[in-house]
Chain A
């Protein structure tokens, strides 16, 4: 993987200033800092390696192109996440064979918060699995969510954007973010319970 460069000693505002002046090493340092997260985000939303690579490249191409418009009102990372989300959503919408629920379809009826599985988990359930096994379990669970829920969960709980930033990135309201996040979290909790429940504790399933 990329080596640390001399640009690595600069903080982000210095890197941005240098990148705006056309310093390739400075911009490359920014790319190296965030490319893994952008690629993960794109893969989670598009669920497709080729689309994710396209999104990765487009995100940094556009961020470079518009660097002069970025004045630091938000964090650089938040800014490029918004570009990546836009690119990823365009990929989803372009996919003609995609039969999943469109992102703008009304979903917030409040009827899908039914909890079916109630069981105690181990204290540190992730420790039962190897890193690769855990990554597979978590990725598959996220990928099984509808796009509208998946996208909100990825931005809020994986990329750790605020509710407001998530709403802005997706062009939806704050209440819609909260509602979708609740459903995503509950659905994931339910899916992961299969893997993480404490063995022999079914007596705690009260329903």
Chain B
């Protein structure tokens, strides 16, 4: 139970260790390894920082024209389904502005065929 892990064994367990998905015995072995192996300590530390730096990034705003086309498509879709709910006027930008800057991917959402049903 006190056998030392090799660096390769340490790396194989790195993701589970970072995700706190190892049992106590293995965790102690891994921590013993990094206390004695400077390279693996650096790999652990920099991998932790890699994850942290990605987790800290907020998604950027969607380009306004992309957002506008999305909300138009949603509105069309809901209206086509006979929605009787309150309107969109307070939630989407005006649809009367320029719509020429982005990719021409505005959907004919009301006629699109749905290919598959997501599993819930």
Contact = CB atoms under 8 A, between A and B. Distances in A.
A134 B49 contact: no
B107 interface: yes
A63 B69 CA distance: 17
Interface in A28-67: 28-29, 31-32, 35-37, 39-40, 49-50, 53-54, 56-58, 60-66
A22 B90 contact: no
Contacts, number: 200
Contacts of B97: none
A207 interface: yes
B86 A23 contact: yes
Interface in B49-107: 49-51, 53-57, 59-62, 64, 66-67, 69-71, 73-75, 77-79, 81-88, 90-93, 102-103, 105, 107
Contact of B83 (A24, A39, A61, A73): A24
B39 interface: yes
B12 A110 contact: yes
Given A39-B66, A56-B66, A61 B120 contact: no
Interface residues of A, number: 77
Chain B: number of interface residues, binned into ranges: 35 or more
B11 interface: yes
A113 interface: yes
Given A61-B107, A188-B50, A134 B57 contact: yes
Given A24-B78, A31-B74, A40-B59, A82 B42 contact: no
**Among all A-B residue pairs, the 6 with the closest Cβ atoms:** A23-B85, A22-B83, A36-B59, A28-B91, A182-B15, A40-B59
28 contacts: A3-B91, A22-B85, A23-B83, A24-B86, A28-B92, A31-B74, A36-B59, A37-B59, A39-B66, A49-B103, A53-B105, A57-B70, A60-B73, A64-B77, A64-B78, A70-B120, A71-B120, A74-B120, A120-B45, A121-B46, A121-B49, A134-B57, A158-B57, A181-B15, A185-B18, A186-B14, A189-B50, A192-B53
